[in-house]
Structure 1
Amino acid sequence: MVTRRTVLGALASAMVPVTAKAADREREPEFLEDRLRATSLPPLAQRIPKRPRIINLKAMGRVPGQYGGTLRTIIGSQKDIRFMTIYGYARLVGYDEHLVLQPDVLESFQSENDTVFTFTIRDGHKWSDGSLLTADDFSYWWNDVLLNADLTPGGGALELRIDGKLPRFEVLDPLTVRYSWESPNPFFLPSLAAPQALAIVGPSVYLKKFHKDYQDKFRLAALMKENRVKKWADLHIKMARQYRPENPELPVLDPWRNMTAPPAEQFVFERNPFFHRVDENGRQLPYVDRFILNVSSPTIIPAKTGAGESDLQATGVDFADYTFLKEAEKRYPIKVDLWKTIRGSRIAILPNLNCLDDSWRALFREVRFRRALSLAIDRHEINMAVFYGLGTPSADTVLPESPLYKPEYAKAWIDFDPAKANALLDEVGMQNRNDDGIRLLPDGRPAEITVETPGESTLDVDVLELVTDHWRKVGLALYTRTSQRDIFRSRAQGGRIMMSIGLGIPNGVATADMNPGQLAPTADDQYQWPVWGRHYLSVGQNGQAPDLPEAQELLDLQNSWRKSAHMPERTEIWHKMLSLYTDQVFSIGLVNGTLQPILRSSRLQNVPDKGLYGFDPTCYLGIYMPDTFWLSGEK
């Protein structure tokens, strides 16, 4: 039986083979003119697949554009060149603006009850070096990378190991591959569409040069010495890294390819002449020829952006910078819009249920204490003072844009009710106070809570100042500790943090087909239960299993969702998890639906005035297809 996920040649009815006429001079980017004239690059009709992905911009409410130009953006470190992989958002399958999965690099895909997945590759699709993308590239990655113990010592990503078992992989023909599991794997397609996509394919012709099974051992040794690595596997991993494209020689499928090897203070990405998307007029995307990424200290990215040094900036700036950036519109040809962030809460407070301190850990695992903390916070004041009233006081949950949204989830334990908070604190054995009015723990210590933060957002500090006053009124003392992110992360995962402040659940626009793991202890960067999350990630090898019944119930529900292939059942499971998570106040959400500044050159067209902004599943700008943005001639 073919399920709702089945896509048989989606868009195929709108696609026709591209003829030589479509590759005439006016449809070629001027940027490629010298290479075309020198015949070092074939004409358009020979560079793109026989059935490329056609992007009908008019149907999307946008305008077909023109070629050319360079965009500048600012990044906080060399590692942030990964934003080009995220923004480019070329995936085997990817989400559209409505968060529906569509074939992208693939011509089509079929899913049978989420157990058998059949992928059809576009005939004539090429990597950025002009080599063909075929089933051999999938086969190489499966047999020579994923099944190679040196390259993949852990046995493959969790998204591939269902009940501890990898799928059966088959090559059906040069353009068709199949992955089959014995039980449903609903993680598979979303993981391929993710910001850091699950890797199941690579440019085999290029990568075999770095693989011991294909390369002469003397040449391999020379390559290892040249790249300063001691093991052949480290060489292959270094040269094959797709998410953070540090190797300019690595063939890619993205709209732009990196031309600069690190270390560097400036990275240049140029158009991929073999990119597989075209507009309705047969013009190859992307429209913009070049991106320049300038590396800067993260603390001065807003200042540089406001000084006209960026043509497209989303990361590195925050809502606190909006007024300053808006003022810059008067001095520079730029425009600043506000997109809605998709986090379940723009700022959340996370009591660490794995805290090493016995007394605090017992309190944090007491739901009445977590509810008291939440009820003691005046979210209206936070929204007005920090977000100018533009956000929505809410628990840490999905947004109204999600089909899973229910008002009762958003309203769970968020009323400002100090009297109820005081009563709950009395109930958990904290009725006694010292001379300063601070409540005493059951062991007699004053209730002094240290909330830790990486200190990367002024919003965190502003919010904590308000929460300090709120909690003081119910007899709780709050102190803030700031540390560098690496130190913060190490302390949190080691249980040395009592409580932290950060972002809420990542995906506030979830659908029932998306993994509900964000509501269960499934990752070690969930700072309300990092030790339990590490246990899940390591498949029981590290960390500790949850010993709180409600947390274990969330894990059981998540596992039930994974085993289901039916939308009604998955929807029911999502609702059970959302209800339990918000009622238990495992994270204390404050305000969501907040806004993110998106700055762009006033010449840059097709950038939406409004959008949903977040990492997963929207890939920041990715689902809005920056390859369709273009620079007008108007100043």
Structure 2
Amino acid sequence: MFLKRTLLSAAALVALSSSAYAACPTPTVSDMKGLQSVYPQQFELAEFEKAVSCDLAISENPAINDLNARITGNGKLAVVADRIPAEALVVAPYDQIGSYGGTLTGLSKGTESGTSDLLSVRHVNFVRYADDLQTVVPNIAQAWEWNEDYTVLTFDLRKGHKWSDGEAFTSEDVAFWMNDIILNPDVYEKTPDRWLFAGKPVKVEAVTPEIVKFTFPVPTPGILNRFAVDFGQPFQPKHFLGQFMPKYNKDADKLAQSYGFKNGAEAVDFYYGGSDWKDVPSPLLKDADKAAKIGRAVVPTLESFIVVEENAEGRKLVANPYFHMVDTKGQQLPYLNEIVETYVSDKEVQNLKIMNGEVVWKQQAVFLEDFPLLKENEGKGGYNIQFAPTFGENVFYSFNRTHQDPVLREIFNDIRFNRAMSVAINRDEINEIVYLGQGKPMQGVPAEVKTVSFVTDDHLNKDIQFDPAMAKKLLAEMGLKDSDGDGTLERPDGKPLVVRLVYSSQGSPVKMQELVRDYWTAVGVRIDLKEVTSDEYRASGNNNDLDLTVWKYDGNAGPTISQDTTVFVPPFGDFFNPGTGFAWAAWKKSDGAEGIEPPADIKKLWDLSEKFIQVEFGTDASNKLGQEITDIHVDNMLKIGTVGDIVAPFLYRNDLQNVKPIKAKTYDFYWTYPYRPQQWFLSQ
């Protein structure tokens, strides 16, 4: 599907009328001045200058030198024309050319907790989805090319692109990321599964400074989608992290020790954190004094903003003076000076700050149950709250099939128990109370139905009727009885059947947990409810310490499952969204030496998933595999769904300009990433 080379050619450039413009026009999406572009709403610099028949004069934020002074380790700035790539990306703002200045204020739960919303505001990757959520467009890369069998993907980078500290960004930084970070046992004891294909790593080569080649061991046609929607950035600053590696600096360990590290590997971990995820606790939280001594607060970035402060209350970021985008007037983006992210774990405090007008942008962890209150105070707070369709918002309950308690493990693996728990849920009531009647009761499925064609009505409707009598009958068939008449069934060992439901409000509405507790208690399964932070929830889930996991589906939209089938196979999720079957996953990873051997149909999922990502997404072959995978998930009721096809609120303050209504509120397209937040600005 992405087979043709996308480098711009003279034939691809926009044809002009016979009369050239007297002065450079400044097209916006609302008024493109009669221009068209190869990709929606953006131009390559040469493409734009050819289209308007004039040279674009590059200008900068008047405050950029002051902002740069806050970036630890950055030197004096060169003129802006020397800071942006020679092949800069020209962005057409939505409504108007923006003005510089101002601070984007936002909220998250804590460092690495609910941060992806604001992280997406500054995010970059090789490519991204345009706001139609259908077209992949250039970003860090200006072009790409596939070979015929989808095993070789070549990216063309931007000549003259620079890191946020002014050092050159080249293909060597991409090769360094794979060869010296992902495949480095000092960083990852085991290569992350997401970068293995049929069990083998991808080969990354720097062909020229601007050309980098990915060679996959098997066809991987969907991988471009990973580079369009994924949080992970496939490049790291070799000039900075490489100084702590003996491969590039024979005195690497000595240098690291001079800063108080045990060796160079510890210094790399201090800055990289062993994760593609950008919002792990920064060096400023780990040891601000050590970071200051080294002279670099955080790793240099290609993003639009860079972290300059972080403490237990929040973080501050300033505009990247080397960012690669300009608007159609030639002004370097972003327009905003600063992002201030405050950590607020309590939902009531979050709502209060929103209603007081303290929050410029918020979409993650704003639930429908809060909409009436926030809508009522919209005028007072000076903000605009709207609905958007969701992907992956169906909240699921997944009982721990490899529980450390063998009695609970046996109960949870009985399909009758899971069916009972499903029909005990009153989804219509949840829809009315939690989702204001805006959703549709449906079963949990491993693919977002709006983005695939292999999920059937039978899948979505299986055991979703509210039938407490059926639930009690299924539990009785299992031999579970209430011998003492206290309303709670006993386990086979005589203990009361008590299930602890631990949840985080970031992943699901609080009211839903209270309702489900009452539904299940009514059929004899006593539920102990406990709310924790998302960090605590994830730690317990990934340690196999939870009786069941509850979250909303993440990572199951088409662009995600076309290149990452994590949601298909045990443990049916990732660190940020744990599922079930952790001991099944351990059995697979250890070739049977550890963990618990899964049932035969669960074993099939690994083979089916490998085949799924090796065929082009949406084809008959892909759909056949997808349906078989979905059959196994639903037949085993691996995740009990509740209500899907819902809308969800997002909000922004009235002074935030160039905001376009989002087509979907979803992590699966990485929140704001398709909507070009670099061209947001605050009216004065």
- The answer for the alignment partner of 2:29 in structure 1 is none
Contact 1:504 1:587 in 2 (8 A): no
1:311-347 superposed Cα distances (whole Å, 9 cap, x missing partner): 22234543333333323323232222233332251x2
Task: Measure, in 2, the Cα distance between the counterparts of 1:628 and 1:457.
Answer: 28
CA distance in 2, matches of 1:73, 1:341: 21
2:354 maps to what in 1? 305
Identify the residue that residue 77 of structure 2 maps to in structure 1. 41
Question: Where does the alignment leave 5 or more consecutive residues of structure 2 unmatched?
Answer: 14-36, 38-43, 69-74, 284-295
Which residue of structure 2 lines up, in the alignment, with residue 55 of structure 1? Answer: 91
Instruction: State which of 641, 649, 664 in structure 2 corresponds to 1:612.
Output: 664
Q: Distance in 2 between matches of 1:410 and 1:550?
A: 20
1:233 aligns with 265
Q: 1:475 to 1:151 in 2, by over 3 A?
A: closer
Which AA in structure 2 matches 1:120? Answer: D
Cα 1:257–1:23 shift into 2, 3 Å: farther
1:137 to 173, 195, 201: 173
Asked if structure 1 preserves the Cα contact closer than 8 Å seen for 2:481 and 2:489, the reply is yes
Is 1:107 matched up with 2:142? yes
Residue 170 of structure 1 and its aligned partner are, at CA, apart by 2.8
Paired residues of 2:326 and 2:333 also in contact (CA < 8 A): yes
Which residue does 2:215 correspond to in 1? 180
Instruction: Say if 2:315 and 2:340, in contact at 8 Å, map to a contact too.
Output: yes
What is the TM-score of this pair, normalised by structure 2? 0.80
Q: What secondary structure sits across from 2:194 in the alignment?
A: coil
Match of 2:327 in 1: 279
Equivalent residue of 1:330, what SS?
Answer: helix
Q: Which amino acid aligns with 2:172?
A: D
Q: Tell me the CA shift for residue 569 of structure 1.
A: 1.8
Determine which of 624, 627, 646 is the counterpart of 1:575: 627
Q: How many pairs were matched up?
A: 616
**2:45/2:90 contact within 8 Å kept:** no
Deviates more, 1:234-243 or 1:329-338: 234-243
The reply to whether residue 202 of structure 1 matches residue 205 of structure 2 is no
Q: What amino acid is aligned across from residue 72 of structure 1 in structure 2?
A: T
Q: Return 294-303 or 324-333, whichever deviates more.
A: 294-303
Matching residue within 414, 424, 427 for 2:464: 414
1:520 and 2:569 matched: yes
Describe the superposition over 1:470-519 as per-residue Cα deviations: whole angstroms up to 9, x where unpaired: 33554444343455656655554555543343334543565762433313
Q: Distance in 2 between matches of 1:151 and 1:444?
A: 45
Quick one: distance in 1 between partners of 2:8 and 2:633? 37
Distance 1:488 1:295 in 2: 17
Map of 2:27 onto structure 1: none
Structure 2 CA distance for aligned equivalents of residues 272 and 207 of structure 1 = 19
Going from structure 1 to structure 2, the CA distance change for 1:281 and 1:529 (only over 3 Å counts) comes to: same
- Within 5 Å, give how 1:616-635 maps onto structure 2: 617-633=668-684
Match of 1:167 among 202, 205, 210: 202
Cα-Cα RMSD: 3.5
**8 Å Cα contact 1:160/1:188 also seen in 2:** no
2:654 — aligned with what? Answer: 602
**Structure 2 residue 117 is the aligned partner of structure 1 residue 65:** no
Q: Is there any run of 5+ residues in structure 1 with no aligned partner, and where? A: none
CA–CA separation in structure 2 for the residues paired with 1:183 and 1:564: 10
Match of 1:93 in 2: 127
Which residue of structure 1 aligns with residue 499 of structure 2?
A: 450
- The answer for the alignment partner of 2:337 in structure 1 is 289
User: Measured at CA, do residues 208 and 251 of structure 1 come closer, stay the same or move farther in structure 2, by a change above 3 Å?
Assistant: same
1:48-68 CA-to-partner distances (Å, cap 9, x unmatched) read 22332333445xxx5443333
Matched position secondary structure for 2:195? coil
Deviation at 1:625, TM superposition (A): 2.1
- CA separation of 1:384 and 1:84: change in aligned 2, threshold 3 A: closer
The 1:295–1:488 alpha-carbon spacing in structure 2 relative to 1, beyond 3 Å, is: closer
Q: What's the offset of the Cα at 1:546?
A: 4.2
The 3 A distance-change label for structure 1 pair 589 and 7 is: farther
Alpha-carbon distance in structure 1 between the residues aligned to 2:590 and 2:231:
21
CA drift of 1:127 comes to 1.7
Alignment of 1:550-589 (within 5 A): 550-565=601-616, 567-589=619-641
Please identify, of 570-579 and 510-519, the stretch whose mean Cα deviation from structure 2 is larger. Answer: 510-519
CA deviations 1:367-389 (Å, max 9, x no partner) are: 23312221222100111122221
Q: Paired residue for 1:329?
A: 378
1:349 matched residue in structure 2: 397
Deviation at 1:447, TM superposition (A): 6.3
Amino acid paired to 1:408: D
Q: Is 1:381 aligned with 2:412?
A: no
- Structure 1 residues 238 and 457, CA gap change in structure 2 (3 angstroms): closer
Structure 1 position 116, deviation (Å): 1.1
- CA gap 1:532/1:625 in 2 versus in 1, 3 angstroms: farther
